Structure 1
Amino acid sequence: MSILDSLKTPVIVAPMAGGPSTPALVNAAAEAGSLGFLAGGVMPVEQLKQELAEVKGVFGVNLFRPQSDTPKPSDIDELAGLLSSPFRQYGLNEPTVPTPDLTNGWEEKFAAVLGAKPAVFSCTFGIFSSEEFAQIKDAGIEAWVTVTNPEDAVTAQKAGADALVVQGPEAGGHRSTWTIGEEPDERDLATLIQAVKQAGVEIPLIAAGGLSTASDVAAILDKGASAASCGSAFLLSPEAGTSALNREILDAAPALGLESVSSRAFSGRFARGVETQFTRSNEGLPPLYPYLNPMITSLRKAAGSAGNWDYAYCLVGVGLESIAKTSAKQILESLTPSALS
């Protein structure tokens, strides 16, 4: 029996790394009979431990799988050159090349999550090892894997995943390809769900990507999903940790005609967010994850403080006009198919 069978709603609150996912949002989901996730992918280990201590009831945790491939040094140098002029424009020192931790503190975070005993432990950007699958299951935790194509779905099922988060191109945030260089599957979410099932996958499928209304959720459940994972719908809720600037951008975007686009120009790997001048001008950027974000952060801050959104980092899925400024509980109720009756 899956944790999904015990939920009061087929809608779960997706992990949103970088701030939006908070213990308050996770706790609100649990109180409403849903499942929310702490997004530990890029946060410091100590912060994750603190947030694990603050969650109550049923919850999940998501981590980013360690990255095995790296950008070309020449591509990183070209990025530094690209950023040089706007850095000077804002009186900043020349961009510097960081030395990122490609593991995101995986081992210590993995141990902390096991000790916290969430209902679900999920991973993005790859798959748990056989030993890790065994440890998770020995702890009585469900192991979920995020996939973007039928091939990865079959691999994850064979490896021992209890459920799969099938992420379509409409999803906000990073697309969970298992390498930084691969071009993501662009079939829409409904088609991907059907393709995964046709590939012989029989474990529960949680559909993720652009599900912003109860009608969207009902339609994807009819396609064979066991549940819907919604993230962008909660970005303007009071429980979310969305920054003040991103709340301003999300609030203004529909009236300004700004759309959600998928681009490597947000972070160096494909991610979907509110289009900016930088994303429009750099559609062809090579795989630069995770170097782009730390290299451009000071420029984003300087420009944002000056009211310039050209370099903003506001990740969100399609359906910007449907994002509500209300409580997580009310949003969950509005997304549940029973709201249609």
Structure 2
Amino acid sequence: MRAAAFCERYGLAVPILLAPMAGSTPPALAAAVANGGGMGALGALNTQPEGIAEWASAFRARSNGAFQANLWIPDPPPVRDAAREAAMAEFLGRFGPRPAVPEGPLLPDFAAQCRAIIEAGPAVISSIMGVFPPDVVAAAKARGIAWFACATTLAEAREAVAAGADAIVAQGSEAGGHRGAFDQAAADTQQTGSLALIPRFADALDVPVIATGGIGDARGIAAALTLGASAVQIGTGYLRCPEAGLHPAWSAAIADAEPEGTALTRMFSGRLGRGIANAVTRADAPPAAAYPVQRALFAPVRAAAEKAGNADAMQMWAGQAARLAAAEPAGALTARLWDEAQALLP
């Protein structure tokens, strides 16, 4: 009943959402999930305002379904540490081209991005790492756009609900990619798994809970709904779909990954995130630079590794259920997962 009500509210046939993975949600993948009955997604963190409009247009050329547009809530400008950045640049030079210390703006203008995602007219805007400013929430709701907020603790979830969130995405520690902690310094200690997080949120909150983290097949979907979620959000589980266009080495690593083969690291961006462990994450490295400086430092190493197909120095985000990811078209996968999940539910 929870899932049915959620689907009716957001115009879905199945209670499955594509996770808004920045850099890994091309319009073709999002549209395929939407055409399979779920909700597509744009991870707009690195996307300029004009790119957001272009993405929405490309999505709508492929689908009449719903999508969410996601942004990170920005931290204050990073405190630069020249010595730390130089040490990291020297370390990264062991794995690829020695990066230059970045200067100038490292992120798109957040206020302009907020205006752009609202103008794009998605069914949902979503946030991670905090809550949208009141004016953004008001502007979205004036246009009938809902707000989903990612949270890793009940305190974060309650803060988001108080700020006007229409649903909470409960991010368990199994999730791939970046941890959604509002305070990045606390991300290392906010590691509650989905089995504990979902029922606590469901019991304590008056808005729908969307479960994410460690969900890769029908068993995970059925478990999340049984624990009190109204829908699930899947990221890594879609990365091997052909529409994702993932680098072959990354896709192969996902197919072979054991749960213990992923690790939490700040190497790729300066923010804590879960990816497949490789030589660059296992090395004895100096402390990472602040986000997003670390991301800019790692970018040339990542690019060179991708060009060479060198998985030892690639950025390969993945959750602990990575091995469950199926290499099949995203629309068919979405429909199959829900059919199989229904068979497991009362």
Fold conserved (TM > 0.5)?
yes
Q: Percent identity?
A: 30
Distance 1:258 1:221 in 2: 25
Partner of 1:136: 140
> Is 2:282 aligned against 1:272?
no
Partner of 1:95: 100
Distance 1:10 1:284 in 2: 43
The one-letter code sitting in structure 2 at the alignment partner of 1:263 is T
Distance 2:216 2:176 in 1: 11
Please report the TM-score for the alignment, with normalisation by the length of structure 2.
0.88
The one-letter code sitting in structure 1 at the alignment partner of 2:30 is V
SS of the aligned residue for 1:62 comes to strand
Partner of 2:166: 162
Give a deviation string over 1:74-94, Cα, whole Å, max 9, x none: 3x532422331552675x455
Distance 1:34 1:338 in 2: 15
Partner of 1:73: 80
Structure 1 residue 12: deviation in Å? 1.3
Distance 1:89 1:64 in 2: 29
Distance 1:148 1:174 in 2: 11
Tell whether the 8 Å contact from 2:45 to 2:72 is kept in structure 1 after alignment.
yes
The partner residue of 2:312 within 306, 310, 313 is 310
- How large is the RMSD of aligned CA atoms in angstroms? 2.4
> Is 2:54 aligned against 1:50?
yes
> Is 2:198 aligned against 1:196?
no
The partner residue of 2:151 within 147, 150, 154 is 147
Say if 1:85 and 1:141 are closer, same or farther in 2 by CA, change over 3 A: closer
Tell whether the 8 Å contact from 1:173 to 1:317 is kept in structure 2 after alignment.
yes
Tell whether the 8 Å contact from 2:6 to 2:15 is kept in structure 1 after alignment.
no
Structure 1 residue 202: deviation in Å? 0.9
Distance 2:318 2:177 in 1: 6
Distance 1:339 1:12 in 2: 19
Tell whether the 8 Å contact from 1:7 to 1:33 is kept in structure 2 after alignment.
yes
The one-letter code sitting in structure 2 at the alignment partner of 1:67 is D
Give a deviation string over 1:222-250, Cα, whole Å, max 9, x none: 11111010011110111113234422433
The one-letter code sitting in structure 2 at the alignment partner of 1:176 is G
SS of the aligned residue for 2:175 comes to coil
User: Which one is further off, 38-47 or 127-136?
Assistant: 38-47
Partner of 1:60: 68
> Is 2:88 aligned against 1:82?
yes
Give a deviation string over 1:132-168, Cα, whole Å, max 9, x none: 1111110111111111110010111111111111111
SS of the aligned residue for 1:55 comes to helix
Give a deviation string over 1:233-280, Cα, whole Å, max 9, x none: 1101111132344224334545xx971212212211111111112212
